[in-house]
Structure 1
Amino acid sequence: MAKLTAVPLSALVDEPVHIRVTGLTPFQVVCLQASMKDEKGNLFHSQAFYRASEVGEVDLERDSSLGGDYMGVHPMGLFWSMKPEKLLTRLVKRDVMNRPHKVHIKLCHPYFPVEGKVISSSLDSVILERWYVAPGVTRIHVKEGRIRGALFLPPGEGPFPGVIDLFGGAGGLFEFRASLLASHGFATLALAYWGYDDLPSRLEKVDLEYFEEGVEFLLRHPKVLGPGVGVLSVCIGAEIGLSMAINLKQITATVLINGPNFVSSNPHVYRGKVFQPTPCSEEFVTTNALGLVEFYRTFEETADKDTKYCFPIEKAHGHFLFVVGEDDKNLNSKVHAEQATAQLMKSGKKNWTLLSYPGAGHLIEPPYSPLCPASRTPFVIPSISWGGEVIPHAAAQEHSWKEIQKFLKQHLNPGFNSQL
């Protein structure tokens, strides 16, 4: 009798699962399916076909998928190859504390469409819980002074290395990365800066003093290890993270995921100084064959060619980790990161690491997250293409997440011995 097993049944979303099938007939072909719903009821699903061994077993750590949503040996392929039933839907966990994602894994006979309907009988199934918080992680709602966000603290007395987590153009408050980072031993402040609570409904300027308040708030907490903090940032958040690292001496380590090295659209203001946006070429905004807008060429005639628009990154005191998806369709991230590192080298600095991933898109998220190649974004019509190819993007997410943790650990507290 066929038996499907998955170990562990409950784990953090960045932990791998070992999926095996036993009790099949020798060389039997089966279909493995994964499905889950987000908090809004949107369905995500994937499938792959496998042939059993001579002893009637399938082991995803050893065996190659014959087809489906991916091919080859990919132990976690069923997770990162999931696609939304409703196009342009991004998988984003909102309630990180109370409800895990529940992933249904089914073992089925190979199926064929019959009169437009999929006919497939299930041989066995399991349900997995995928959490964004480890046991003992606490969440503190933050509404102090101007600061709005959520602080996640690891279990124990600490003190813990402190990190500010910044997202970009979607606005609001995203907590899934901060909660996961706290699960690995970092006191992490998910910091909102527009489109949340009583913050501005649109981002019209970047007030660096607001982010400075966030840094000071974090450093005041008794469980946060000073004297500096880190920044983990993506997209416009990475633009702000770079600006923070240059202007705020408390920033010790900055992770920049697919961000520009210049002011892109909203002026940055700090202590009376205004840093104006870089001119862009709107004629280089393109629409692809799917009707999705691509912005990655808009600074070809300005920032990509003229370094006078670039942030003076050489003035920063801390260390940088650049994470680049070479298939980013939203920003020319590879060029921007190469410009920034060239400036550092020209100044004789070695305070940087560049991770550049061929085939990875803009939204490089924690491991095993499904690729989001395009989605809707506030105030942008039509929808945005983020780029990325499924298999290399998944590999980039898995590798970069480990490197991000190592980098933050190394530069925030060399004696920090958390398990990665």
Structure 2
Amino acid sequence: MIQLTATPLSALVDEPVHIRITGLSPFQVVNLQASLKDERGNMFYSMAYYRADKAGEVDMKRDSSLGGDYVGVHPMGLFWSLKPEKLLVRLIKKDVMNSPFQVQLKLCDLDLPLTSKATSDSKVSLTLERWYVAPGVTRILVHEGRLRGALFLPPGEGRFPGVIDLFGGIGGLVEYRASLLASRGFASLALAYMGYEDLPPQLEKVDLEYFEEAANFLLSHPKVLGPGIGIVSVCIGAEIALSMAIHLKQVTAAVLINGPNFAFGVPHIYHDQIHQPKPWAIHNVITNAFGFLELHRIYKENENEASRYFFPIEKAQGHFLFIVGEGDKNGDSKTHARQAIEQLRRNGKNNWTLLSYPGAGHLIEPPYSPLCSASMNPSVRLPIYWGGEGVSHAAAQEHSWKEIQKFLRKHLIPVVTSQL
């Protein structure tokens, strides 16, 4: 009898799953499909072909995909290769607390087309639960003063290292990375700063006093371990995080994923200090063959004057983890990280680590998240091309997530030395 097994059936989304098929004929070729429906009803699909061994078994930890959405040995390939049925749809979990994503795995005939009608024709199927929050994690909606966000606390008495989680131009309150960080032992504040409740619909300025309030709020919580906090950030969020690290002594560790080393679009204001945005050339915006915008060349001109717009990163007292997707088509992230690091070096600083990933795109997410190479953005009318190649991007996500946690623990948890 043919059996399809996946272990564990219910787990956090950043945990790997061991998928096996038994009971096949020796060397039989099978088609394995995965599907997921998001909270808005959008469908995502992936598929791969596998050949059984002489015992009639397929083990995705061991065996190579012969074709489909990926080729080679990729135990989690069916997850990170999920593609939206509708173009330009990005997989984003909204309700992290009450329901997981359900991924259906199906073993199908070789000539079966990849459609949602395949269910009744599959030989065998099973459903997995992929959670964004671990048991015992609590969520506290933050509506204090002008602060808007959601605080996630790990189970237990604490205290826990504190982290502010910042996304980019998508706006709103994005919680899925913060909930995962809390599941891994961090008190994590998903912080909204535009496009949410009474916050501005678009970013008109970066008011660093707002983010200072967030840092102080987090540090004042009785379950948060001081004396400093960390930030995990991407895109515009990484721009803000870099600025925070320079101006706010509370920030001791900043993870910057594909962000610039200067102000983009709007000024940064802290008390009476104003840091003006770097000018960009609209004629260097590219519309590629798919009709998607590529923004990674808009700062190619006036490089001789560029340095006067750079943030004074050398003033930061904390540590930086630069994460770069070398296939980023939304920004020249590799150049921006190199410039920031060179600035630190010139000033005798060694408070940085660089992780640069060939083939990875702009949206480097937690492990096994599907690559989103293009999607709509609330601040731009045309779709944006984020870049990235499936296998390379997936590898970058898996490796960087582990390094992010190591970096945060290293710089947020004080080392206790015993006194003899």
Q: TM-score, normalised by structure 1?
A: 0.96
- Report the equivalent of 1:25: 25
| 2:85 aligned residue | 85
Output the CA distance in 1 between the equivalents of 2:108 and 2:275: 58
Displacement of 1:274 = 1.3
CA distance, structure 1, for counterparts of residue 12 and residue 349 of structure 2: 37
SS in 2 for 1:306: helix
For the structure 1 residues 376 and 303, does the alpha-carbon distance in structure 2 shift closer, same or farther, using more than 3 Å as the test? farther
Residue correspondence of structure 1 range 88-237 to structure 2 within 5 A = 88-112=88-112, 121-237=121-237
Q: The residue matched to 1:62 in structure 2 has which SS?
A: coil
Distance 1:254 1:375 in 2: 26
2: distance between equivalents of 1:246 and 1:155?
32
Q: What SS does structure 1 have at the residue aligned with 2:349?
A: coil
For residues 123 and 302 of structure 1, the distance between their equivalents in structure 2, rounded to whole angstroms, comes to 61
Q: 2:390 & 2:95 partners in 1: Cα distance?
A: 26
Q: Distance in 1 between matches of 2:153 and 2:358?
A: 34
Please state if 1:5 is matched with 2:5: yes
1:325 match: 325
AA in 2 matched with 1:56: G
User: How far apart are 1:118 and its partner, in Å?
Assistant: 7.2
One-letter code of the match for 1:202? Answer: Q
Query: What displacement does 1:62 show?
Result: 0.1
Shift of residue 302, structure 1, vs aligned partner = 3.6
Q: CA deviation at 1:289?
A: 0.2
Equivalent residue runs for 1:47-62 within 5 Å = 47-62=47-62
**What corresponds to 2:316 in structure 1?**
316
Structure 1 contact 278–303 (Cα < 8 Å) conserved: no
Counterpart position of 1:365: 365
Higher mean Cα deviation, 11-20 or 372-381?
372-381
Q: 2:264 maps to what in 1?
A: 264
1:278 aligns with 2:278: yes
> Which portions of structure 1, spanning 4 or more consecutive aligned residues, are displaced by more than 4 angstroms?
117-120
Match of 2:43 in 1: 43
> Judging changes above 3 Å, is the alpha-carbon distance between structure 1 residues 303 and 408 closer, same or farther for their aligned structure 2 residues?
farther
Q: In structure 2, how many angstroms separate the alpha carbons of the residues matched to 1:250 and 1:212?
A: 8
- Structure-2 separation of matches of 1:376 and 1:182: 29
- 1:69 alignment partner in structure 2: 69
Root-mean-square deviation (CA), in Å?
1.5
**Following the alignment from structure 2 to structure 1, what is the Cα–Cα distance between the partners of residues 369 and 305?**
34
Report Cα offsets for 1:354-384 as digits up to 9, x if no partner: 0000000000000000000000011312110
- Secondary structure of the residue aligned to 1:188 is strand
Q: Quick one: distance in 2 between partners of 1:163 and 1:300?
A: 34
Summarize the Cα distance change of 1:303–1:247 in structure 2 as closer, same or farther, 3 Å threshold. Answer: farther
Number of equivalent positions: 414
Tell me the CA shift for residue 121 of structure 1: 2.9
Deviation at 1:306, TM superposition (A): 2.7
Structure 2 partner of 1:403:
403
Residues 366 and 283 of structure 1, relative CA distance in 2, 3 Å threshold: same
Summarize deviations over 1:259-306 as a string: whole Å, max 9, x none.
000011111110021111101111100100000000100011145873
Structure 2 residue identity aligned to 1:362? H
* TM-superposition CA deviations, 1:232-254 (whole Å, max 9, x none): 00000000000000000110000
Structure 1 partner of 2:306: 306
The SS at the match of 1:261 is coil
Cα distance in structure 1, aligned partners of 2:69 and 2:218: 43
**SS of match in other structure, 2:124:** strand
Determine whether 1:255 maps to 2:259.
no
For residues 331 and 275 of structure 2, what CA distance do their matches in structure 1 show?
Answer: 20
TM-score (norm 2): 0.96
Give the Cα separation in 1 of the matches to 2:292 and 2:305.
Answer: 26
Code of the residue aligned with 1:176 in structure 2: it is: Y
